[in-house]
């Protein structure tokens, strides 16, 4: 179990994170520069927080009040850097052996061979990093970390250094390696697809501050905050305004909702996914609202329409996605007037 509660003043914001990970792969998800990598460095002992406490399996790694700050080599934390940090003049075997901290040469040799087999690096023992593929380099870096039997793995955007066509295969290989590891793993990413496929839970960081941890499924299907909803891939947002008679105005789009599901008291905005907006030539109900098609974009798998609500404010537009194979996808063109509507149960009300 990992418990992190730390504060660190940085040049542009204050890092203030509070979370717990327990036998799971947990993602730290956020935009670039929000403090994800800095959080890992504080846990690993590379950077000292200003105050707080870090505990791993009942071992105190850092406690500002008790003046505890274990050095990195005593923390039993494995840190996989974005660029893997392999020694360029070492062979595969030598790079892996560099992670071994014992003094028994025979035990070190056995451990290296075990990790070479576990990571399917047989036949590459004497190769140097510049002769390896990106995936092979990643496996060598993981083997070097795992040879010391860490209690926690920190993965800092492990696919950043790879070409896109390599990532899918390496994702599956990494998933298998993490299952074999069997302990807590923190996975830093700003790629929501990677997080969805690989992680059990997610802690969103927004401008240095952590939000409540939630399951990966909950984040993507029922986000609670604007930052979480944005990171889950939602493109359409509007402020909300409560009106008399139980009505609610989606202010940016000029839509007034009659009835519908109860809106949480702390809700300040609404998010709607691009595939949850429906369009038609004619008004289909009380909550249909007039729009004009501003732009059409043909993506690989879908047609994207940018709609401007007639009663919208501040230049608001809506992004709508339609399956490219759908018959009506060919009919919508810029300049046309249409009606759009959103089902009440497709609206995500956000803190």
- Both 252 and 188 in one domain: the answer is no
Listed residue (23, 350, 46) closest to 206, CA to CA: 350
pLDDT at 261: 66
Per-residue model confidence (pLDDT) at position 179? 80
229, part of any domain? no
- Residue ranges making up the domain that contains 152: 2-224
Parts of the chain with a pLDDT under 50: none
Asked if residue 230 is part of any domain, the answer here is: no
DSSP secondary structure string for all residues of 243-287? -GGG-EEETTTTEEE-S-SPPPTT--EEEE-GGGEEEESS--STT
Determine the angle formed by the axes of helices 134-146 and 164-181, rounding to 10 degrees. Answer: 20
Q: Which of 166, 196, 224 finishes a domain? A: 224
Q: Are residues 97 and 193 in the same domain?
A: yes
**Per-residue model confidence (pLDDT) at position 165:** 62
Reported as a single tens digit per residue, the pLDDT across 219-264 is 988 899 999 999 888 999 999 988 887 778 889 998 887 766 677 8
Residue 20 pairs with which residues in a beta bridge?
3
Predicted local confidence at residue 101, as pLDDT: 82
Do 209 and 134 belong to one domain? yes
| End-of-domain residue from the set 194, 224, 254 | 224
Query: How far apart are alpha carbons 195 and 249 in whole angstroms?
Result: 34
Q: Is residue 287 part of a domain?
A: yes
According to the model, what pLDDT value does residue 164 have? Answer: 62
> How many distinct structural domains can be found in the chain?
2
Count the alpha carbons within 13 Å of 76 in the hemisphere toward its beta carbon.
14
Question: What's the pTM value of the predicted model, to 2 decimals?
Answer: 0.82
Both 262 and 142 in one domain: the answer is: no
Residue 320 within a domain: yes
* Residue 42 maps to a domain: yes
């Amino acid at each position: 179990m990992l418990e992190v509660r730390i504060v660190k003043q940085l040049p542009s914001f204050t890092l203030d994170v509070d979370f717990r990970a327990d036998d799971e792969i947990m993602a730290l998800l956020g935009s670039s520069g929000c403090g994800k990598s800095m959080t890992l460095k504080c846990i690993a002992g590379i950077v000292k927080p200003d105050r707080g406490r870090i505990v791993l399996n009942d071992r105190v790694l850092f406690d500002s009040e008790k003046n505890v700050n274990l050095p990195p080599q005593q923390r039993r934390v494995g840190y996989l850097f974005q660029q893997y940090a392999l020694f360029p003049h070492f062979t595969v075997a030598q790079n892996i052996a560099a992670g071994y901290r014992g003094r028994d040469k025979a035990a070190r040799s056995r451990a290296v061979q075990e990790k070479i087999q576990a990571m399917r690096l047989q036949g590459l023992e004497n190769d140097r990093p510049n002769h390896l593929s990106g995936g092979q380099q990643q496996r060598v870096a993981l083997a070097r970390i795992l040879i010391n039997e860490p209690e926690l793995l920190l993965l800092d955007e492990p696919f950043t250094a790879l070409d896109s066509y390599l990532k899918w295969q390496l994702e599956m290989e990494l998933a298998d390696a993490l299952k074999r590891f069997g302990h807590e793993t923190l996975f830093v990413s700003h790629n929501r697809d990677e997080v969805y496929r690989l992680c059990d839970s997610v802690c969103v960081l927004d401008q240095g501050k952590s939000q409540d941890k939630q399951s990966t499924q909950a984040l993507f299907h029922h986000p609670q905050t604007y930052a979480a909803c944005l990171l889950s891939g939602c493109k359409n947002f509007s402020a909300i305004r409560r009106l008399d008679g139980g009505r609610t105005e989606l202010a940016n789009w000029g839509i007034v909702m009659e009835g519908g599901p109860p809106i949480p008291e702390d809700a300040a905005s609404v998010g709607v996914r691009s595939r949850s907006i429906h369009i038609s030539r004619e008004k289909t109900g009380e909550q249909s609202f007039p729009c004009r098609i501003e732009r059409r974009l043909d993506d690989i798998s879908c047609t994207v329409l940018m709609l401007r609500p007639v009663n919208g404010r501040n230049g608001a537009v809506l992004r709508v996605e339609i399956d490219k194979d759908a018959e009506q996808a060919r009919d919508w063109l810029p300049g046309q007037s249409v009606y759009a509507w959103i089902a009440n149960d497709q609206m995500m009300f956000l803190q």
